[in-house]
Amino acid sequence: MNPENGRDTPLNVRKRITRISMVLYCLLLIATVILPLYLTFVTAFKTTKETYANYLGLPTIFSLENFTSIIEQKNIAQYFANSVYITAVSILLINLVTPLTAYIIARNHERRFFKYIYIYFLISIFVPFNVIVFPLTKLLYSLKLMNSIGLIICYVALSIPENIFLYVAYFRAINRELFEAAQLDGCGPFQYYARVLLPTCRTIVITVNILNIIWIWNDFFLPLMVVNTDPSSWTLPIFIYNFKGQHSFSVNLASAAYQISIIPIAILFIVFQNKIIEGTALQSKKL
């Protein structure tokens, strides 16, 4: 009998300890995600009295009063429209700039100039946002762009490095024979890009766009720095922040406001979750 098959061998003990540690670690991660979501959900349906009486418990009656109070707030529709406008215009400009730039770099990656440009974008990914936020804010202030336009410009500029990295890696992995076949059919470089390459890379395009939408819609810090002084340009996260500051703090109203703000993103993620998973898996293989 092989002694390693015994239950109490050091190898088996180490394996059991490893498995137990991994299970405990996964449970800890699940708890850190599920518990805040649960508390946010149940608190939104409670009254203030119920919240203080039993913070972790379920509400006796699932009331929509907190949601009604948030929806009835003055200018809430405008803040929602601001978030939609900023997100939509930013995504449109990002799609006009980054895939085309990545395509040009991928087609000319052997040339020194384009290689240096690509390295420059890669280096930009590792620059912490905290390093550039104050110079960026000062620049926007001097250009009188402390408004929605300035915020959109920031989102487009900050999205370029990471998007270029993802697109270039994907475009370079595509067989060059596809381009040669398109040339035989009379397609020029930009016709190939618009009619052949982008439809072929639909999965990565959808994945990158959804990740950008989630980032821009939920972003708090950049709008806080750029549009917080202009109430007409507030996004939903900034409205929630200032709402808590202007009124006596209510965890119930705050929870309801958070849930309202994540509904569009939750729907988008549910609809396109398969595309996101597929695009992430394909990208990891290509990298």
- pTM comes to 0.81
- In order along the chain (287 residues), what is the average pLDDT of each group of 10 residues? 55 81 85 84 87 84 86 86 95 94 89 91 88 89 92 94 90 77 77 83 86 92 90 89 66 84 84 70 56
Whose structure tokens read 């100039």?
113
Question: Taking the mean position of all CA atoms in its chain, how far away is CA 157?
Answer: 15
Q: Please tell me the predicted confidence (pLDDT) of residue 1.
A: 44
